[in-house]
Structure 1
Amino acid sequence: MTSSVKTAGTLYLWQQRTLYLGYISRLSSLSQGANTLLFGLDDVIPLKVGGLQLEARSYLVPAGARYSADSLGKRIACCFLDPLGKDMLFHSPAMAEHESGISFGSMHEASQLHTLQTLYRDQADAGQAYRALEGQLFPEECTRVEGFEPDARIAEVVALIRSDPSENLSNEALAQRVGLSGDRLQRLFKQTTGIPIRRYRLWHRLFVTSSMMAMGATLTDAALAAGFSDSSHLAHVFKSMLGMSPSTVLRRSRHVRILVG
Structure 2
Amino acid sequence: MNHSETLPTTLYLWPQRTLFLGYIGPLAPLNIGAHTLLVGVDQGIPVTVGDRTIVSDRLLIPAGTSFTASSNGGRIGCCFLDPMGRDFRFHKSRMREEEAGLFVADIEGDLQHQILAQLHDQQAGAAQAYSKLAGVLFPAGDEVVADFRADERIAEVISRIRSDPSDNVSNNTLADAVGLSGDRLQRLFKEVTGVPIRRYRLWHRLFVTSSMMALGSSLTDAALAAGFSDSSHLTHAFKSMLGMSPSTVLRRSQQIRILVGQGEGFT
Bin of the TM-score, shorter chain as denominator length? over 0.9
TM-score (norm. length: structure 2): 0.93
**1:102 matches 2:102:** yes
The alignment partner of 2:93 has SS state of helix
Aligned to 1:119: 119
Q: 1:241 to 1:186 in 2, by over 3 A?
A: same
Instruction: Give the conservation status (yes or no) of the 8 Å contact 2:62–2:102.
Output: yes
Q: Unaligned regions of 5+ residues in structure 2, if any?
A: 262-267
Distance 1:77 1:247 in 2: 22
Aligned to 1:255: 255
* Residue 251 (structure 1) shift: 4.9
Aligned partners of 2:217 and 2:67: how far apart in 1? 32
Taking structure 1 as reference, are residues 38 and 153 closer, same or farther at Cα in structure 2, changes over 3 Å only? same
CA distance in 2, matches of 1:124, 1:218: 25
1:140–1:250 distance in 2 versus 1, CA, 3 Å:
farther
**1:17 alignment partner in structure 2:** 17
Provide the residue aligned with 1:136 in structure 2.
136
Question: Structure 1's 250 and 139: CA in aligned 2 closer, same or farther, altered over 3 A?
Answer: farther
Match of 1:212 in 2: 212
Q: Map 1:45-124 onto structure 2 (within 5 A).
A: 45-105=45-105, 107=107, 109-124=109-124
Kindly state the Cα deviation for residue 108 of structure 1 after the two structures are TM-superposed. 5.6
Q: Which amino acid aligns with 1:32?
A: I
Distance 1:106 1:206, change over 3 A: farther
Moved more, 2-11 or 44-53: 2-11
Instruction: Say whether the 8 Å CA contact 2:11–2:259 is kept in structure 1.
Output: yes
- TM (norm. structure 1) is 0.96
Match of residue 198 from structure 2: 198
Q: Distance in 1 between matches of 2:33 and 2:197?
A: 10
Distance 1:61 1:14 in 2: 19
Distance of 2:15 and 2:106 partners within structure 1: 25
The letter of the residue matching 1:238 is F
Output the amino acid matched with 2:17.
R
Once the two structures are TM-superposed, the CA of residue 250 in structure 1 deviates from its matched residue by 4.8
Instruction: Give distance in 1, aligned partners of 2:260 and 2:106.
Output: 27
Cα-Cα RMSD: 1.6
Provide the C-alpha distance between the structure 1 equivalents of 2:21 and 2:225, rounded to a whole number of angstroms.
26
Q: What letter corresponds to residue 25 of structure 2 in structure 1? A: S
Aligned residues: 261
